[in-house]
Amino acid sequence: MENVLVTGGAGFIGSHLCDFLLEKDYHVICVDNLLTGNEKNISHLLNNENFEFINHNVTKYIKINKSLNYILHFASPASPIDYLELPIQTLKVGSLGTHNTLGLAKEKKATFLLASSSEVYGDPLVHPQPETYWGNVNPIGPRGVYDEAKRFGEAITLAYHRVHKIDTKIARIFNTFGPRMRINDGRVVPNFISQALENKPLTVYGDGSQTRSFCYISDMVDGVYRLMLFNETDPVNLGNPEEMSIIDFAKKIKKLTKSNSKIIFEDLPVDDPKVRQPDITRAKEVLGWRPKVSLDEGLKNTISWFRSSRL
């Protein structure tokens, strides 16, 4: 049985990864300091003999007393609310945390996968965004702490690959949604669903013409797993290329929840991307991966989970 360490394993994507890997008969070690993760996300796994939970901040030295085959580095605040409230922690986990986990990968001779982000593209001037695009990032703006943490993470990951010959992978993850998202996460999916279920106004920033694309969690973890196993060092976009304006997305949430909520408009946050759509040509060609779950199907599952979590 191979051992996989997942940092940020009590978070939204990380906890689903733990589930997925256990089903694939891996021994999973989840490391999370619960800053933005939640132990409820992994509570159903705590009695599984092939699962371990370690409460630890990866910006500190990481000691693991067993062999490791893979390290999946998913630890980081990941929503605008989180990294605006926790800017230094966001920068530290992207720099010191990535450095520490790469050092552990070097020690254990483990394959290392970095969870990067579409935010490395900033407010893109190229659309859709291919991996060859270098981005349009404001390094000193309020969002810059997350953007630059991920960009640094990519740089040091490839430096370790080139200098220490570590087997490394980089997943550039676009908007992902599904059960276990935090209700107060601050991202558009939990915002709209929670507002709609309570018949509160749906808050659209700007005029709602900005676009996003949404990938369901089961598709995302499948893409991450394929990348983990494949010999591909260059970054790979993982996301759903079906693009939708925020105003149309708000209307869809209203319809699916049968909500009486009104739609209201507020000022667009600083450096908020106007467009966001992955070019997944590389993922299709290299990994044989593309999203399978439709937006409506994924949203129905997510809305059902939000309804039950409010009870």
Catalytic machinery residues: 146
Contact, 225 vs 263, CB < 8 A?
A: no
Best CA proximity match to 109, nearest among 159, 72, 164: 164
Q: Which DSSP string corresponds to the chain?
A: --EEEEETTTSHHHHHHHHHHHHTT-EEEEEE--SS--GGGTGGGTT-TTEEEEE--TTS----SS--SEEEE--S--SHHHHHH-HHHHHHIIIIIHHHHHHHHHHHT-EEEEEEEGGGGBS-SSSSB-TT---B--TTSTTHHHHHHHHHHHHHHHHHHHHH---EEEEEE--EE-TT--TT--SHHHHHHHHHHTTPPEEEETTS--EEE-EEHHHHHHHHHHHHHS---S-EEES---EEEHHHHHHHHHHHHT----EEEEPPPTT--S---B--HHIIIII-----S-HHHHHHHHHHHHHHHT-
Contact, 275 vs 218, CB < 8 A?
A: no
Contact, 101 vs 157, CB < 8 A?
A: no
- For tokens 């705590």, the residue is 46
Our CA dihedral for 9, 10, 11, 14, rounded to 10 degrees, sits at 30
